[in-house]
Amino acid sequence: MTTADIGLIGLAVMGSNLALNIAEKGYTIAVNNRSPARIDEFVTMAKEQGLAGKVIPKADLAEFVQAVSRPRSIIIMVKAGAPVDAMIEQLLPHLEQGDAIIECGNSLFTDTQRRFDYLKPKGIGYLGAGVSGGEEGARHGPSIMVGGSKEQWHNAEDVLTAIAAKFNGESCCAYLGEGGAGHFVKTIHNGIEYGDMQMIAEVYGVMRDGLGMAPQACADVFKEWNRGPLNSYLIEITGHVLAAIDEPTGKPLVELILDKAGQKGTGVWSAIAAQQMGVPATAIEGAVAARSISSRKDERIAAEKIYGKRSAGKADVTLADLEQALLAGKIVSYAQGFAVIAKASDENGWKLPLSTIAKIWRAGCIIRSRFLDQMAAAYAKGDNANLLIVPDFVTLMKENHGALRKVVAAGAVGEFPLICLSAALSYFDSYRQAQGTANLIQGQRDFFGAHGFEIEGRGKDLHGEWPSTLGN
């Protein structure tokens, strides 16, 4: 009987493309899906692409598991949440000691950690692997962030590194740490993705409303920027989205799309994780908040009726200012994202390699960009310091924060919402300020709650002589 090198359950968009990618790299793959119709559709697709010989379709779960050679590596790519737990329970009776489940959806990292802990005593390995790159990436090379059982990682390593994107010949797949480490890193990847997308949207808003630019003119600028320091997948696709024309009306498609952004959870999870660990990630938080405000269209319409449309005229910024502002904002956002990862690594004992993470984000994933190569090089030099104090990025920030300031100021005066860019600027200004204003907050806390404050050279738990009555 032919045995498969690997198995995959869940043949929707991501699973079917990953399976085709695996087959194309020469591995035999057994496939299964809850609804058998999807298996038939997949087999047709595999035939059309000349890959049917590498595919073993099995609608019966027991037969599917039997078709995979031992120790088994079984990818599950089903809807995140309860379906993953249900799938694990269905698989368990068929698995044997040493086999592993590799869950590749966008799972909450604490769920992955729980599943890892649940399966470990049963002798079943559990790998939580974040996969980024959408449909195209899954088919031709995603970025894969793996966490979980190290021993079983080695069983699947060849397949996963072979199907991942390559940057200068290096695979964009790496084992990052135990338990939920891979899914944590994928979550923060998505948080950074939210920040990038929001900052790009804010700059588009200034171009559209402050500079009176039509979508095609904006598209041309993004195309141009993609040749410079902002070179990245998101800048590239922004150019295409802005240039697209709606065939039935002949109008720019972007002007017809409702301004309500969806979100599936990873941005919120990133913001919550950052807050829980006490790491400021204002760009991610701002981006999540901006999506939430966008979804409240009815409220925004009502509020505009009360306050009127923005009345300010042309924005006093150039396209060069916008390009530099975006670069500075992105550096701050990535500095925050990596700081969250560094803290999570310490708290969970994951030993997350920041340089490797930057490296596997250089190709395949949604946030792939030129400057991730610079970040990988910076982190490779040693410590996990905040990027804002790493020499290469200090130079970049010194060159570009003035433009960020100018754009944020123009936004405030010109009534453009720049939630994410202004959050990035305020973080930068707070981070670089040796004397802040929290001395006043400590005084207030002591006044109303006797929480104590510190005075250098005099001790930590000091109290003020505050008035006992107010009002005079």
Ligand X SMILES: NC(=O)C1=CN([C@@H]2O[C@H](COP(=O)(O)OP(=O)(O)OC[C@H]3O[C@@H](n4cnc5c(N)ncnc54)[C@H](OP(=O)(O)O)[C@@H]3O)[C@@H](O)[C@H]2O)C=CC1
Ligand Y SMILES: O=C(CO)[C@H](O)[C@H](O)COP(=O)(O)O
Residues at the contact surface with ligand Y, assessed by CB under 6 A:
106, 132, 134, 190, 193, 262-264, 266-267, 366
CA distances from 234 to 194, 237, 305, 364, 397 (A): 11, 5, 34, 12, 21
Measure the CA–CA gap between 348 and 383, rounded to whole angstroms. 18
Q: Is the distance from CB of 126 to CB of 101 less than 8 angstroms? A: yes
Q: Choose, by CB under 6 A, the member of 74, 87, 254, 375 that binds ligand X.
A: 87
| Residue 422 interacting entry, from ligand X, ligand Y, none, C-beta within 5 to 8 Å by type | none
Indicate whether 35 belongs to the interface with ligand X (CB under 6 A): yes
As a whole number of Å, the end-to-end CA separation of the chain is 91
Q: Choose, by CB under 6 A, the member of 7, 15, 195, 210 that binds ligand X.
A: 15
- Minimum CB distance to ligand Y smaller for 186 or for 343: 186
Indicate whether 77 belongs to the interface with ligand X (CB under 6 A): yes
Indicate whether 33 belongs to the interface with ligand X (CB under 6 A): yes
- Minimum CB distance to ligand X smaller for 39 or for 420: 39
| Residue 432 interacting entry, from ligand X, ligand Y, none, C-beta within 5 to 8 Å by type | none
Beta bridge partners of 29: 6, 55
Q: Is the distance from CB of 31 to CB of 52 less than 8 angstroms? A: no
| Residue 10 interacting entry, from ligand Y, ligand X, none, C-beta within 5 to 8 Å by type | ligand X
Q: Is the distance from CB of 163 to CB of 18 less than 8 angstroms? A: yes
In the bound complex, what is the minimum distance in angstroms from residue 16's beta carbon to ligand X?
A: 8
In the bound complex, what is the minimum distance in angstroms from residue 142's beta carbon to ligand X?
A: 8
186 counts as catalytic:
yes
Nearest Cα to Cα of residue 186 among 139, 229, 230, 148 = 148
- Minimum CB distance to ligand Y smaller for 52 or for 272: 272
Indicate whether 265 belongs to the interface with ligand X (CB under 6 A): no
In the bound complex, what is the minimum distance in angstroms from residue 133's beta carbon to ligand Y?
A: 7
| Residue 344 interacting entry, from ligand Y, ligand X, none, C-beta within 5 to 8 Å by type | none
Q: Can you tell me whether residue 268 is helix, strand or coil?
A: helix
In the chain, the amino acid numbered 380 is A
Which tokens hold the place of 281? 């990630």
In the bound complex, what is the minimum distance in angstroms from residue 75's beta carbon to ligand X?
A: 11
Q: Choose, by CB under 6 A, the member of 4, 8, 14, 22 that binds ligand X.
A: 14
Q: Is the distance from CB of 182 to CB of 148 less than 8 angstroms? A: yes
* Count of C-beta atoms within a 10 Å radius of residue 55: 22
Measure the CA–CA gap between 120 and 107, rounded to whole angstroms. 18
Catalytic position from the list 54, 186, 343, 406: 186
In the bound complex, what is the minimum distance in angstroms from residue 130's beta carbon to ligand X?
A: 8
Measure the CA–CA gap between 389 and 335, rounded to whole angstroms. 9
Q: Choose, by CB under 6 A, the member of 4, 5, 7, 10 that binds ligand X.
A: 10
| Residue 266 interacting entry, from ligand Y, ligand X, none, C-beta within 5 to 8 Å by type | ligand Y
Long-range contacts of 430-434 (CB under 8 A, 24+ apart): 431/386, 431/388, 432/388
Nearest Cα to Cα of residue 376 among 203, 174, 83, 227 = 174
- Minimum CB distance to ligand Y smaller for 132 or for 155: 132
- Minimum CB distance to ligand X smaller for 35 or for 430: 35
193 counts as catalytic:
yes
Place of tokens 């005099």: 458
Part of the chain binding ligand X (CB under 6 A), chosen from 5-13, 279-287, 308-316, 441-449: 5-13
Q: Residue 454: what are its φ and ψ, rounded to 5°?
A: -115, 140
* Residues catalogued as catalytic: 186, 193
Q: Which residue ranges make up the site for ligand X (CB under 6 A)? A: 10-15, 33-35, 38, 77-80, 83, 86-87, 105-106, 131-132, 134-135
